Amino acid sequence: MSSPRFEANAAALAALIPDGASVAVPSDNSGVPMALTLEIIRAGKRGLRMIGGPTAGIQVDMLIGAGCVASVEAAGVSLGPRGLAPRFCAAVEGGEIKIIDSTCPATHAGYIAGEKRLPFMAVHGIFGSDVLTHRADWKIITNPFPPHQPLVVVPAINPDISIFHAPLADEHGNVWVGKRRELKSMARAAGKVLVTVDKIVPEDLAGNAELAPGLLASHYIDRIALAAGGAWPTALPPVHPEDGAELDAYAAAAQTREGFDRYLHRALTPRGPAQ
Amino acid sequence: MSNPMAGIARSDTYSKEELLIATMARLFGDGTFMTAGVNSPIPAAAGLLREQVDPGFYVAVHGDPGRTPFVDGGAEAFDMAAQGRLDVFVFGGVQVDGKANINLVGIGPYPQAKKRFAGTFGAASLFYLVRNIVLFFPKHDRRTLVEAVDFKSASAIGPKEAYRTGSPRWLLSERCLFRFDLEKERFTLVSVHPGHSLEEVREHTGFSFDVTDRVEMTAVPTTAERELIRGPVRDALSKPYPDFARKLLARQ
């Protein structure tokens, strides 16, 4: 059984992401790898094709603002309770990035097909939506079985790389994602899985009956790096809530290009997370 | 039974928000499981009010970990909807049209919109699955209630044979309440809120709609509803929406 390699830090993981890669990322508050995101920006990655899980937030907004992104496939990109994602909206309005609109269950279905190495998956509804009109890769088929109704099918999503942050890993390379089952699908669908974690323990978590159901087993993971507080300032349930003041500061700063640049400069200046 | 409202000032007046909360809660009818999405304090309050008057009703509130009963990742709520287990959902958006299509994507051309918004989220699929969908567009003007939306994020108008466990049923605004007839693909005006009129609704609505012989007035919140909104509903709301909950109290 293969085991992941442990890297020294998030920067070592960022180095493994080639320009132009398709990169799957979690929805906000589901293990967003913010420390790794800053390293991707610092490394000056370009042309990334981001895929939401199924939505995206501050992480993708920052990557867009930093010029790392060529396209975004997502059911929504926003700052949640803080409103629109300013750099995302500006980039779409300015034609600077390609937007591939989706709808949440279709993206979930794509990852699930992807992890099974099936070519496609059916999703209910979606008829009449312009999301469907603009997705040449989505098709309407007739169910080959009774009652032979029309169905929308979406292709498998097999990202080059899935990245996320998790509370816990063990020295065998098992990673605990808890309730975030979609992270398992996104990892198993991907060509490569890079994970940062708050903590690495010696105990084999696969032998822990309480934690095992929430584990992504080591054989799905390529590299793990310790990055304590690596989801900050987003929330990492059940470990820590969001840092509301920091997220407010980002939402305010990112309204303008200049404000975003100032925020990013500060964020890239070496320092520890607030907690 | 002790009165949980003891000490709270009673008043016969009600705020605009309270009218919307009470009106929306009545639309949930015999629903049993509602999910209130992100940035939805009034729908969340309406769900919490419905819980107070219907013990069989439950609302999951985004942003309140104590009201997030999903344990199996982000796809679970959508699977629940497909199973017919998600009764009630409230959708907003940038635009709504006379066929109950909603736009959550952008104003102007696509994909390079003049004004881009967040995206469709789950709406395109949920429009066929959630039994009782309420469209909530508080801002009621011709830029919002339009003849045809710029981008159909979600539409209920699909093949008759398609799998369906629900559809949009209501459109609630700051001025009035419409009911949606999926067969006719049209809205009918149900009632206008106190202080508003049919003429005013026509003037500010960009799509044509049906009216019945007699246009009703939307029922004002009852004393019991107001007390519940100002008591247990506000308390439950103060965790996910502290600012909104404070504002509700400040109105007294």
Percent of chain A with pLDDT over 70: 97
Q: How confident is the model at residue A271 (pLDDT cuts 50, 70, 90)?
A: low
**Burial (CB count <10 Å: 0-12, 13-18, 19+), residue A239:** middle
How do residues A100-109 score in pLDDT, each as one tens digit? 999 999 999 9
ipTM metric: 0.94
> Does position A4 have pLDDT exceeding 90, yes or no?
no
How do residues B100-130 score in pLDDT, each as one tens digit? 999 999 999 999 999 999 999 999 999 999 9
How do residues B154-182 score in pLDDT, each as one tens digit? 999 999 999 999 999 999 999 999 999 99
Q: What is the pLDDT of residue B10?
A: 46
Contact residues, A window 202-231, toward B, CB-based 8 Å cutoff: none
Neighbours of A150 (CB within 10 A): 15
Q: What is the pLDDT of residue A73?
A: 98
Tracing tokens 């952008």 back to the chain, one arrives at B106
How do residues A209-260 score in pLDDT, each as one tens digit? 999 999 999 999 999 999 999 999 999 999 999 999 999 999 999 999 999 9
Distance CA A51, CA A45 (A): 16
How do residues A114-154 score in pLDDT, each as one tens digit? 999 999 999 999 999 999 999 999 999 999 999 999 999 99
Are residue A188 and residue A88 in the same domain, yes or no?
yes
Query: Domain span at residue A141?
Result: 120-155
A151 inside domain: yes
Interface mutation target, options B62, B68, B78, B79, chain A, most CBs of A under 10 Å? B78
DSSP state letters, A248-274:
HHHHHHTTSHHHHHHHHHHHHS-----
- Chain B's closest residue to A72, CA to CA, is B119
Whether the CB of B129 is below 8 Å from some CB of chain A: the reply is yes
> Could B129 and A125 be called an inter-chain contact, meaning their C-beta atoms sit closer than 8 Å?
yes
A125 inside domain: yes
A212 within 8 A of A204, measured Cβ to Cβ: no
Are residue A135 and residue A69 in the same domain, yes or no?
no
Of B38, B113, B125, the CB nearest to A103: B125
How do residues A169-223 score in pLDDT, each as one tens digit? 999 999 999 999 999 999 999 999 999 999 999 999 999 999 999 999 999 999 9
Q: What is the pLDDT of residue A96?
A: 98
CB contacts, 8 Å: B94 with chain A: none
Phi and psi at residue A200, in whole multiples of 5°?
-125, 125
Distance CA B27, CA A161 (A): 45
CB contacts, 8 Å: A151 with chain B: 162-163
A142 inside domain: yes
Of A53, A78, A129, the CB nearest to B152: A129
Are residue A222 and residue A176 in the same domain, yes or no?
yes
- Chain B's closest residue to A26, CA to CA, is B74
Percent of chain B with pLDDT over 70: 94
CB contacts, 8 Å: B153 with chain A: 103, 129-131
Domain ranges of chain B: 16-244
Whether the CB of A76 is below 8 Å from some CB of chain B: the reply is yes
Q: What is the number of structural domains in chain A?
A: 2
Smallest Cα distance from B83 to chain A, Å = 11
DSSP state letters, A189-217:
HSSEEEEEEEEEESS-GGG-TTTGGGEE-
CB contacts, 8 Å: B86 with chain A: none
Look up residue A140 and give its amino acid.
I
Neighbours of A218 (CB within 10 A): 21
A115 inside domain: no
Are residue A175 and residue A221 in the same domain, yes or no?
yes
A77 inside domain: yes
Q: Which residues of B10-39 are buried (b: 16+ CB within 10 A; e: fewer)?
A: eeeebbebbbbbbbbbbbbeebebbbbbeb
CATH code: domain of residue A81: 3.40.1080.10
Neighbours of B71 (CB within 10 A): 11
Are residue A145 and residue A11 in the same domain, yes or no?
no
Q: What is the pLDDT of residue A51?
A: 98
CB contacts, 8 Å: B110 with chain A: 130, 134
Distance CA A156, CA B193 (A): 48
**Helix (H) or strand (E) run with residue B189 in it:** strand B186-192
**Helix (H) or strand (E) run with residue B247 in it:** helix B242-250
Distance CA A237, CA B68 (A): 12
CB contacts, 8 Å: B65 with chain A: 237
> Could B73 and A180 be called an inter-chain contact, meaning their C-beta atoms sit closer than 8 Å?
yes
Are residue A171 and residue A100 in the same domain, yes or no?
yes
Are residue A30 and residue A80 in the same domain, yes or no?
yes
Whether the CB of A234 is below 8 Å from some CB of chain B: the reply is no
From residue A87, give the alpha-carbon distance in Å to each of A24, A74, A100, A253.
19, 15, 16, 10
Are residue A225 and residue A94 in the same domain, yes or no?
yes
Phi and psi at residue A244, in whole multiples of 5°?
-60, -40
> Could A55 and B121 be called an inter-chain contact, meaning their C-beta atoms sit closer than 8 Å?
yes
A162 inside domain: yes
Fold classification of B16-244 (topology level): Glutaconate Coenzyme A-transferase (3.40.1080)
**Coil, helix or strand at residue A113:** helix
B226 within 8 A of B14, measured Cβ to Cβ: yes
> Does position A21 have pLDDT exceeding 90, yes or no?
yes
- One digit per residue, pLDDT tens: chain B, 252 residues? 444 444 444 457 899 999 999 999 999 987 789 999 888 999 999 999 999 999 899 999 988 888 888 888 899 999 999 999 999 999 999 999 999 999 999 999 999 999 999 999 999 999 999 999 999 999 999 999 999 999 999 999 999 999 999 999 999 999 999 999 999 999 999 999 999 999 999 999 999 999 998 889 999 999 999 999 999 999 999 988 988 898 876 655
Q: What is the pLDDT of residue A244?
A: 94
